[in-house]
């Protein structure tokens, strides 16, 4: 069974793999640190507004504190998170999510994201266009010749937009010669400790300072359309309920190197 199928068959309401199952296993597994001192410039590619903060918010804030320039590229505006909502239209939801993302990245010390405006839920159909646009971003970013770290959602994350974004970023890095660093988001939901479909040997970790973690927490709190129900209607349920956030608000962040 592939990761996309496993993601589809693990509903958010079912809670997925609990954080209290992950924690003891992760504590027992050696994970080398992320070598942030080697990073001269960072581009973070987010399929939806919030993925960048949930996946690598602390890493971004730590990089900024160390003087590393960070650019966020928002692939979609997140209009399809509640496709049957009786409360918010897709356009209104997208506008709200853009505003949330601006506030969240500002709290991390990062400038306003560059928005590509691709359709939420349809990134795979625009994968070639996304690759081309990422190559353009990376070419502009590295005019002085410095290497760039390109952080993108893992190609095996399960969510089709996440996987398509990861593939496009990988191809853009292959074309430009920059370093791809992948970050999981939904993998923590559907996978299990020691899951054979996850490349654990590639994993690297960051242990942020308490101040950085507090800033990430405040940034995540800005995503009200995702962490809170839009209304009491079941179609407006939170996309990121507490049990999902628990896996993404650890005292460490992990990426695939």
**CA-based torsion, 112, 226, 216, 146: positive or negative:** negative
pTM of the model: 0.95
pLDDT in tens, 82-97: 999 999 999 999 999 9
pLDDT in tens, 10-64: 989 899 999 999 999 999 999 999 999 999 999 999 999 999 999 999 999 999 9
CA distance linking residue 179 with residue 147, whole number of Å: 8
Q: What is the pLDDT of residue 141?
A: 87
Q: What's the chain's length in residues? A: 257
Contact in structure between 60 and 108 (CB atoms under 8 Å): yes
What is the phi/psi pair of residue 183, to 5°? -120, 130
Residue 76 in tokens: 């979609």
Whole-number average pLDDT of the chain: 96
Judge whether residue 144 has pLDDT over 80.
no
């Amino acid at each position: 069974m592939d990761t996309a199928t496993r993601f589809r068959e693990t509903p958010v309401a079912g809670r997925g793999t609990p954080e209290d199952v992950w924690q003891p296993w992760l504590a027992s597994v050696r994970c080398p640190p992320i070598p942030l001192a080697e990073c001269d410039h960072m581009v973070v590619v987010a399929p939806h507004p919030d993925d960048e903060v949930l996946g690598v918010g602390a890493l971004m804030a730590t990089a900024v504190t160390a003087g590393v320039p960070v650019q966020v590229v928002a692939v979609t505006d997140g209009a399809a998170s509640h496709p049957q909502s009786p409360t918010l239209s897709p356009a209104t939801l997208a506008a709200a999510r853009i505003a949330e993302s601006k506030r969240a990245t500002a709290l991390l010390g990062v400038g306003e994201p560059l928005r590509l405006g691709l359709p939420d839920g349809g990134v795979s159909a625009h994968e070639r266009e996304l690759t081309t646009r990422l190559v353009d971003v990376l070419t502009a970013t590295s005019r002085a010749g410095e290497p760039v770290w390109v952080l993108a959602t893992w190609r095996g994350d399960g969510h089709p937009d996440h996987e398509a974004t990861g593939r496009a970023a990988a191809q853009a890095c292959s074309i430009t010669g920059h370093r791809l660093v992948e970050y999981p988001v939904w993998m923590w939901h559907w996978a299990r400790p020691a899951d054979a479909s996850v490349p654990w040997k590639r994993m690297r970790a960051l242990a942020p300072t308490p101040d950085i973690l507090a800033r990430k927490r405040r940034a995540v709190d800005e995503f009200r359309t995702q962490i809170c129900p839009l209304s009491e209607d079941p179609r407006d349920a939170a996309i990121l309920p507490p049990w999902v956030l628990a896996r993404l608000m650890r005292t460490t962040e992990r990426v695939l190197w």
